[in-house]
Structure 1
Amino acid sequence: MPEYGKLVILINPRGKRYLRRVVEGQDMHGNDGIIAMSDIAAADFGTEVRSTKGVPYRVLEPTIHDLVRGVKRQTQVIYPKDIGYICMRLGVGPGRTIVEAGSGSGSLTLALSWFAGPTGRIYTHEAREEFMKLARRNLDWAGLGENVTLIHRDIAEGFDVTGADALFLDVRTPWEYLDNAVKAVKSGAMLGFLLPTVAQVSQLLHGLERGPFDEIEVSEILVRRWKPVADRLRPEDRMIAHTGFLVFARHQERSADWDSFRKLGTRERKQEAARQERLGLGGDGEAGGVDDADFVE
């Protein structure tokens, strides 16, 4: 059953969800009548309580999905569909040290704290003090954050961490901070980035190809729900589509010996020659014209 001071989810028969804290004497008032907080505190999770009008409400324990969606926000937050993939790609978990910037309203910070657990450490950087304070309030509200250190700092001055296992940047111009990012993580660490536009992704890719990075990935995550009717199964009319581009790369020094063993096809040789030309390293003369064959998978 919910303890006083903890958060609960209340759901009415129409599917309306309420995220509330169990506080003695603070009964819930609404169109369905009044639900006594003492009834909520005495109920087991998964059971029902009734309002003064006899309307049943289910009492459920909030998940991390509920908490992320419930944060107070002054900034654009990262969606749960993206957060799950970010945490998987960065390997967030017990005993891991993760660096983040900027904190914003703290939706990702909250999830990082939950996934890392008591033995993990999260260091989140935010240049604007009002956002840092909001992130701390959201962590306290969710009952998380004991493993989080909030740092009021412009990452142009560097990160306050070294030897981290992974790093995530949600900033406008991440390519400007790649040198500092490399100093903050260990060799082989994963780095992630969130960007809203194609132009920003392109600029970041130019920055990544100049540094010690490999295994670069660009992706977006779309979620289309289906109507759960067994004999008339079909997609819902609306979907959660593009919310941002996710870019991932591994901190990895390149070596001539490694590159000499890579097997490149025609397209890859042209791309590598173009990359070397952009970097002023000279190409092998195969970065010339492009024909239709270059687009055959």
Structure 2
Amino acid sequence: MPAYGDLVILQSPRGKRYLRRVEEGNDLHCQEGVLPMADLAAAEYGTEIRTRQGVPFRVQRPTITDLVKGVKRQTQIIYPKDIAYICMRLGVGPGRTIIEAGSGSGSLTVALSWFSGPTGRVCTYEAREEFYKLCRRNLDWAGVGQNVTQFNRDIIDGFEQTDADALFLDVRTPWDYLHHVVRAVKPGAALGFLVPTVDQVSKLLHGMETGPFDDIEVCEVLIRRWKPVADRLRPEDRMIAHTGFLIFARHQERSDEWDSFRTLGTRERKQEAARQERLAAARGAADAADAPADDDAGFEE
């Protein structure tokens, strides 16, 4: 039975879903009529209650998907289909420390907090104060966030953590912060990035070539639903397609010995030769300019 203060899903026969908080006077007013909050508070999950026009509504407990989609938005949010894969690839769970930047409206932060549980820890960074405050409001609204520490600051100066288990960057130019990423996580930590365009993917991959990164994966997550009609089963006309590129990697120091044991095909050998050529050209340009070493901008500890 929903308690006062709980969030509840109310589903109409037409398929409309309403996410409401059980509060006195917070009656649902819709095309199907008025659904009194007192009736909802007296109902059990999985049962039906009726509006004053006699239309039945089903009472359901919200899932993490409902909470993520229901956050108040002032930015583009990360969708549940992407969040699920992000959490799996980063190993989000109890007892682990996860860093996120930037927080935005907090859709991913809500999910990270949910999956981390009481013993997990989430550290989320957001440079803009209005989004920093919005993220906290959404965490409180969703009933999570006790394991979240927020930082209202730009990550241009790095992260306060030095031994995180995983890190996720949702910023415009993630390649500018790779040296900070290395210093914030443990060796072998899982890393994730989200960018919207192929140009950004290329710049990020180029940036990772000179640092301790390996096991790199570039992907996008697509969902195509099927019409649930047993005797006429076929895909729906529309699908949830591209919403962003996901890039995953490991913080891993490279070694010549490891590379010597790798088996490369013709295409991989050409790609590796091109990579070495780019790195050699970059070193030559730096030597020609007699550029001084910048410890703060490099990957050295």
TM-score, structure 1 normalization: 0.93
Partner of 1:228: 228
Percent identity reads: 76
Partner of 2:286: none
Per-residue deviation, 1:281? 7.6
Partner of 1:285: none
Does 1:205 find its partner at 2:205? yes
Deviations 1:56-80, CA, capped at 9 Å, x for gaps:
1100000000000001101011011
Deviations 1:96-134, CA, capped at 9 Å, x for gaps:
100000000000000000010111000000000100100
Question: Aligned partner of 2:16: which letter?
Answer: K
Question: Aligned partner of 1:158: which letter?
Answer: G
Partner of 1:115: 115
Counterpart-to-counterpart distance in 1, 2:160 and 2:134: 20
Deviations 1:33-65, CA, capped at 9 Å, x for gaps:
221211111111000111111111100000000
Counterpart-to-counterpart distance in 1, 2:182 and 2:250: 10
Counterpart-to-counterpart distance in 1, 2:34 and 2:239: 34
Counterpart-to-counterpart distance in 1, 2:32 and 2:221: 38
Question: Aligned partner of 2:122: which letter?
Answer: I
Question: Aligned partner of 2:19: which letter?
Answer: L
Per-residue deviation, 1:26? 2.4
Per-residue deviation, 1:29? 2.1
Partner of 2:56: 56
5+ long unaligned stretches in structure 2: 283-301
Matched residue count: 282
Partner of 2:254: 254
Counterpart-to-counterpart distance in 1, 2:159 and 2:254: 24
**Structure 1 segment 42-121 matched on structure 2, within 5 A:** 42-121=42-121
Counterpart-to-counterpart distance in 2, 1:70 and 1:187: 36
Does 1:170 find its partner at 2:174? no
Counterpart-to-counterpart distance in 1, 2:239 and 2:25: 40
Moved beyond 4 Å, runs of 4+: none
Question: Aligned partner of 1:120: which letter?
Answer: G
Partner of 1:288: none
Counterpart-to-counterpart distance in 2, 1:39 and 1:253: 60
Counterpart-to-counterpart distance in 2, 1:148 and 1:194: 21
Per-residue deviation, 1:81? 0.5
Partner of 1:189: 189
Per-residue deviation, 1:31? 2.5
Counterpart-to-counterpart distance in 2, 1:232 and 1:141: 41
Deviations 1:224-245, CA, capped at 9 Å, x for gaps:
1111001111111111111000
Per-residue deviation, 1:157? 0.6
Partner of 2:145: 145
Question: Aligned partner of 1:6: which letter?
Answer: D
Partner of 1:217: 217
Counterpart-to-counterpart distance in 1, 2:267 and 2:17: 52
Partner of 1:239: 239
Per-residue deviation, 1:185? 0.3
Match of 1:279, SS state, is helix
Deviations 1:132-182, CA, capped at 9 Å, x for gaps:
100100000000100001101110110121100000000000000000011
Partner of 2:124: 124
**Pairwise CA RMSD:** 1.1
Counterpart-to-counterpart distance in 1, 2:35 and 2:271: 65
**Bigger mean CA offset, 27-36 vs 218-227:** 27-36
Question: Aligned partner of 1:203: which letter?
Answer: K
Does 1:36 find its partner at 2:31? no
Counterpart-to-counterpart distance in 2, 1:131 and 1:42: 37
Per-residue deviation, 1:272? 1.2
**Structure 1 segment 263-274 matched on structure 2, within 5 A:** 263-274=263-274
5+ long unaligned stretches in structure 1: 283-297
Deviations 1:182-232, CA, capped at 9 Å, x for gaps:
100000001000010000000000001110000000001111111100111
Per-residue deviation, 1:264? 1.9
Counterpart-to-counterpart distance in 2, 1:4 and 1:68: 21
